[in-house]
Amino acid sequence: AQVVTLPEYLMERFGSLRIHLCFSFFFLLVYVFNRISMEIGFGAMFLKMVWDTDIYQTMLVVLIITGSYTITGGMTAVVYVETLQAAITILGSVLLMFYAFGEVGGYRGLVKKYLVAIPTRTQEGNWTAKTQCYMPRQDAFRIFRSVVSGDIPWPGLILGTTTVSMFYGCADQVTVQRFLAGKNRLHVKAGCLLFGYLKLLPMFLLVMPGMISRILFPDQVACVVPSECQKFCGRGTGCSVLAYPMLVIRVMPSGLKGFMMSTVCASVMSSLTSIFNSSSALFTLNIYTWIRPTATEKELMVAGRFFVIVLLAITIVWIPTIEMVSSETLFEFMQVLKSCLTPSVTAVFLLAVFCKRVNEKGAFWGLILGTSIGIFRLVAEFSYGHTTCMFGEAQSCFWKSWDLCCGLDKQPSSKIGPDNANEEKPGTSWERLGSSELSADLEALARRIVSRQEEEHKEKLRDWSDTPESPFWKRVVNVSGIILFALLILVHVYFA
């Protein structure tokens, strides 16, 4: 398709300026209010626990370093630095995993000890915590859980989690931009496979060490008495957010604690760099070219760097607000936000790629409908509160009746047009919003933007699709794909 950003693909697919701009603004808002705040929140929490330093000063230094090489180096600097940071992050996580498993006697010790890892205090005065609030779940080592008693029922895991994961891997500009920057198809295929292999690691590098932390420090990580939790993490219900930092502080040798700090900093900087670079590309190529269709390449470069500076300023302003919110509350908010708003985006991209009959009107109004339902669900979530072991029955009737409506989020939020839907001119889809003159103007503007972007990238992308693939490496990639698929099946069968 010869595109650089995902909204550009939608422009090529539907010939629509409005859906092009809607997605551009949507991605930018999600990055500012979701991705950036979450990265800053967890990085600040971790560094404060270990170093007990001022969050604002620490994160300010991290942001200045991150912004400096993002602005001056561009995509090339981002890729090289992220590669180094990824290696540091994986190495640090692997070291911590081995030390953690050594403390409990390996995987068998984890399975045996986790099921009896309960806090010492479960009552205070006349108040006693419910058993389900502090007893580990018997299905803790199972992926597919009961529809009736499971905290994440298997239909929700398959339909809900898969949808959000598909957005992250296939419809998120931060992720997809790396693939769009590949030299040829073979590099892109290999990158996708490496991405898949790395996604197998978090269960062993993050989830299981977190479970081990509950075994080693049940009174802190699994606390249920509000006064105790408030003392440990400033939260009234549970301190699971302490799991990973406590492993670093209590389990890692003194010499490796500094290395783990560099691992955390590298992880935060890598994520922020990706967000800044992708946001800059979205603003420059999709929004600024709409504002100034005649902008030169030098002007676009300056605009992109200036936008990164604006994002840095917004992030710095965010820090005091994030500091007042507990990390676990922040995590819950970000996950709910992503779960409510991204399914309709995923549906639009899937249908755009695999269904030729989907037209611009169906995609646009499906996106509006799906996002509106997601926003309503988001408001209801924070108005009524989510179900917990402490407060579950009061909201259950509301959620059971509402879950049926929320299923619309996961449906293909697009109207299927007639067989010749894709043969319509790009401007005809604007008829509902304005006059024919306005539609013609917008159509002409869309053509100018697409034409200009094609001219800029034509020389660079002309030979991309024609680059011959080495037969040897093509076989290596194909075999790696089969091995990855087999590993996925084995993992799901073992932990089913």
Q: What is the 3-state secondary structure (H, E, C) of the chain?
A: CCCCCHHHHHHHHHCCHHHHHHHHHHHHHHHHHHHHHHHHHHHHHHHHHHHCCCHHHHHHHHHHHHHHHHHHHHHHHHHHHHHHHHHHHHHHHHHHHHHHHHHHCHHHHHHHHHCCCCCCCCEECCEECCHHHHCCCCCCCCCCECCCCCCCEHHHHHHHHHHHHHHHHHCCHHHHHHHHCCCCHHHHHHHHHHHHHHCCCHHHHHHHHHHHHHHHCHHHHCCCCHHHHHHHHCCCCCCHHHHHHHHHHHCCCHHHHHHHHHHHHHHHHHHHHHHHHHHHHHHHHHHHHHHCCCCCHHHHHHHHHHHHHHHHHHHHHHHHHHHCCCHHHHHHHHHHHHHHHHHHHHHHHHHHHHCCCECHHHHHHHHHHHHHHHHHHHHHHHHHCCCCCCCCHHHHHHHHHHHHHHHHHHCCCCCECCCCHHHCCHHHHHCCCCCHHHHHHHHHHHHHHHHHHHHHHHHHHCCCCCCCCCHHHHHHHHHHHHHHHHHHHHHHHHCC
pLDDT at 97: 93
Whether 267 is covered by a domain: the verdict is: yes
In a domain, 1, yes or no: no
Q: Let me know if residue 113 belongs to a domain.
A: yes
In a domain, 205, yes or no: yes
Give the range of the structural domain holding residue 28, as residue numbers without chain letter.
6-494
In a domain, 298, yes or no: yes
Looking at residue 63, its pLDDT comes to 83
Does a structural domain hold residue 201? yes
Any domain includes 317? yes
Specify the number of domains making up the chain: 1
Instruction: Report pLDDT digits (tens) over 259-274.
Output: 887 788 888 888 888 8
Residue 112: the pLDDT is 92
**Residues lower than pLDDT 70 in the chain:** 1-2, 50-53, 236-237, 323-330, 385-468
CATH number at residue 19: 1.20.1730.10
For residue 432, the model assigns a pLDDT of 35
Residue 374 lies in a domain: yes
Looking at residue 215, what is its pLDDT?
Answer: 93
